[in-house]
A and B are shown apart, each in its own frame.
Chain A
């Protein structure tokens, strides 16, 4: 039973690449759901847009990563328009269903054999997707690793830049939310008719929130592709969106730091349990589980956590119960 392994792995994952990816997705959701009340359950489609932009531009077309990032943002905006224009006037539960259906539609389309030449089919796109980024790595070439945290030289650079991105987007959200723009979307969250009666173009604001949240999510996908150098369609399932919601609700929806706190805490719990169980099974402490069960256990944890959150503390750690969009019918 290697406790230090459990500890280092947990800490590493808690502030590592996965945490960053989910954190970015959750910041996007915070703009859409936390502040504007849009029940977007298709966030993973935006993340996929970012990842696939990197995969397609860099691998299929052999162009620069920086161009890929621009393309990723544009694709996310387009997806937001396609999704938003017809559906934003639907009420909450319909919007949830439509957005999940949309994200599945996107996944099934990108993994289909019909587009295999460009999008890689079920196998996805694998290769040196992030080379342009990794070439900018300023860390010394003989870098081994940090104490306790086990990142490679490449990964550490991604982690650093990733958290910088998180900080930048958090700043952006903070600025927006305390501005008159933020006032309007918070009003929309509670009662659209009131905001309309005061002369604001509610539809445009909802679309803007959807677009911004989608772009931030796309950056999560970009980080993913650059870090893992691989884009696999079956990793972009609705479960990803549910994870992101759990993170958002855990940290506190409609709180600027909610996604960050939520992501770190969430991964501490998930990674911690996963590593602990993994080690315990190996050490023979638990003999009725297999290593392959750990993944399923993590999901059960996540689901139970989501239920418990919603039942007992929907405002999460930092949220304000008075402000939530959750009492709406």
Chain B
């Protein structure tokens, strides 16, 4: 866990610098990977949803995982976070084999994920949501729980850390409210703040911009950048090309279950294979901000 800001800044900066030397092709090795995945396959019946030969995630950078609908990126995401079982394949986290590890254990070793449909626990208060995220709480053990003096002081420090994060995310005034009374955007922020309570090394966001209004988008982007500045590695799945372009250091593109391109955002978005995947092989056009609308308005310019 990075605790010195200068150290963190330099990790982040050096991560970005390191990426500039990496060749933009699918499956390319990274200078300092926090996660490496090999031969990952997931099939449903006869359909192969995921077939990733090799992919590496650079430490300290913000990596985006994109692709058209049905590309398998969410399935792949669920596989590496332990929420689905792969048919084949291995992946490592900090050089540790984690394929097949129960998802709760992954969170403990530093991989925390959020959910596309926000799972802020509505029936609990904001502060309780936050406290839930903290690791190594003595009071969470059954027999220790009955003896408050064993965990009271820890509870206080957890509470302080929670308040700090809540202030950072501007939710501190909602501390005692039920999470269900928060707006959708506030609940997204809460989920993100809660994930940070677990001091993740790698935070994995599942479509963080889904259903988010433009004002909140900027706020979320800012928070994600701050995470990177603190030394946390970020991996997110997204459809929103603005966001991808804005903050990602590296982009991985999936289509039909495979990784078809990797590279810095600008490079990837000019990649013909990527354009074909999004628009279909008969169209020639550049992916711009509104990649989706281009699909509707493009003429049939057959090659």
Contact = CB atoms under 8 A, between A and B. Distances in A.
Contacts of B198: 198-199
B141 A181 contact: yes
Contacts of B102: 201
Interface stretch (B8-16, B128-136, B224-232, B236-244): B128-136
A182 B145 contact: yes
A175 B132 contact: no
A321 to B, nearest CB: 10
Contacts of A190: 121-124
A183 B132 contact: yes
B34 to A, nearest CB: 18
Nearest to A254: B123
B280 interface: no
Contacts of A181: 139-142, 145
Nearest to B114: A197
* Chain B contact patch, size range: 35 or more
Nearest to B113: A197
Contacts, number: 100
A193 interface: yes
Most-contacted residue by chain A among B138, B145, B148 (CB, 10 A): B145
A144 interface: no
B169 interface: no
A219 B124 CA distance: 31
Interface residues of A, number: 29
B253 interface: no
A149 to B, nearest CB: 34
Contact of B119 (A175, A193, A208): A193
B121 A194 contact: yes
B271 interface: no
Most-contacted residue by chain B among A187, A197, A200 (CB, 10 A): A197
B137 interface: yes
Given A179-B151, A180-B140, A193-B83, A199 B135 contact: yes
Contacts of A199: 104-108, 112, 135, 198
Contact of A196 (B107, B155, B195): B107
Given A175-B146, A179-B139, A190-B124, 7 more contacts: A175-B145, A176-B146, A179-B140, A183-B140, A191-B119, A198-B107, A198-B197
